[in-house]
Amino acid sequence: MINTDICIVGAGPGGALLSLLLAKKGVTVTLLEQHHDIAKEFRGEHLNEEGEKVLKKHGLYSKIEKLGLLKMEVIEYWENGKLFKTVQPEKKDGHLGIHVPQAHLLSVLIDEAKKYPSFTLMTNTKVIDLIKDKHGHFSGIKARRKGKELTITSSFIIGADGRYSTIRKKAGIETTVVKHGYDLLWARIPSPKNWKPSIKMAQIDGYQLSLFTQAKGFIQIGWNINEGSFSEIRKQSFEVFIEKLIQAFPDLEENVRKHITSWNDFVLLDVHSNRTNQWIKDNILLIGDACHTMTPTGAFGLNSSLKDADALAQCIEPGTIKDLDLNNCVQQRKKEVQKLQELQIEKEKNFVTQFVILD
């Protein structure tokens, strides 16, 4: 039996940053993560200017930079192998987004948090239920760790446990899932030498894909497929896909053939977003994907989780945990997130109009 002021479930970007910021203030916080390796979940890794600002504000950016990140120098639009439009960064920004390997981001957040005695991290700890006290208030969580069940009591519980949030479900908080008509297949290959750090949006014979250069010499390829179509697509040869890719980007041929050798080299992202009106219930708060999963468009997901953590940390002080009122704080974030979710739908509708048919 463990007791803590605040129990945060999920050591993704949102949960890890919030834990650090609270521990720094002297709040006793216990962070629970189901995996042994905190960087195990596959996530979005593109930082936009908002996420960058949050990390800089807390003196974390330079520490992550030391471990390695990559600034995007150009966005390119390609139609059937021909480049027809480029977007250059504004001089004041110097880049168009930053690739930050999640292991670098999370290890800096966790290592910083470990400097504070009020922080405890428990990995290998999967939360399976919420517990209530005799007055019906949520008073803690039940988790499974190394085959044993354990109970953690806590004055406040924060669900930062991602898109399929157990805390959201167990608290009985309703969410509306919005499908966007497509799913994504991700694959990763080493990048050829001299490949400029870039985001490439491409249409190839009606297929839509995006290529993101990554730190440490990789390219992440995202392939839009019709919603729910992967099981049918898998019955065909994956070669059709890679031939299209090679046709449009011949420089990639060697690495594509070497590193994409079956459908198993693709990871499927079931694309959806969700809207959750209630972020707070009793002494439970949801942040990040747990209350506002986003689609990958615009790389808002990761950045919104960091912003939630930053905003919420400002509203929580040691000594106030038992009577926390986070409503104002949450209302502001809700408005910002709602705007982004509307913007995503707009951007997705307009994706095709970015392309002109070339002679």
Ligand X SMILES: Cc1cc2nc3c(=O)[nH]c(=O)nc-3n(C[C@H](O)[C@H](O)[C@H](O)COP(=O)(O)OP(=O)(O)OC[C@H]3O[C@@H](n4cnc5c(N)ncnc54)[C@H](O)[C@@H]3O)c2cc1C
93 or 254: CB nearest ligand X: 93
Residue 34 · residue 57 · CB < 8 Å: no
Residue 168 · residue 42 · CB < 8 Å: no
> What residues between 36 and 65 interact with ligand X by CB under 6 A?
41-44, 46
Contact call for residue 292 and ligand X (CB under 6 A): no
Candidate residues 5, 79, 112, 161; the one interacting with ligand X per rule CB under 6 A: 161
7 or 245: CB nearest ligand X: 7
199 or 248: CB nearest ligand X: 199
Min separation Cβ 179 and ligand X, Å: 16
Query: Residue ranges of the alpha helices (H) in the chain?
Result: 13-25, 49-57, 61-67, 102-113, 166-170, 230-233, 239-248, 253-259, 289-292, 300-314, 327-350
Candidate residues 300, 310, 312, 337; the one interacting with ligand X per rule CB under 6 A: 300
181 or 250: CB nearest ligand X: 181
Q: How far is CA 118 from CA 24, 125, 218, in A?
A: 8, 19, 38
DSSP result, 9-77: E--SHHHHHHHHHHHHHT--EEEE-SSSSTT-S----EE-HHHHHHHHHTT-HHHHHHH--EE--EEEE
Residue 68 · residue 104 · CB < 8 Å: yes
98 exposure class (CB count in 10 Å sphere: 0-12, 13-18, 19+)? buried
Candidate residues 7, 14, 158, 330; the one interacting with ligand X per rule CB under 6 A: 14
10 or 197: CB nearest ligand X: 10
Candidate residues 6, 7, 8, 9; the one interacting with ligand X per rule CB under 6 A: 9
Candidate residues 105, 288, 313, 316; the one interacting with ligand X per rule CB under 6 A: 288
Contact call for residue 71 and ligand X (CB under 6 A): no
43 or 188: CB nearest ligand X: 43
Contact call for residue 96 and ligand X (CB under 6 A): no
The residue ranges that bind ligand X (CB under 6 A) are: 9-15, 32-35, 41-44, 46, 126-127, 160-162, 166, 267, 269, 288-289, 294, 296, 299-302, 305
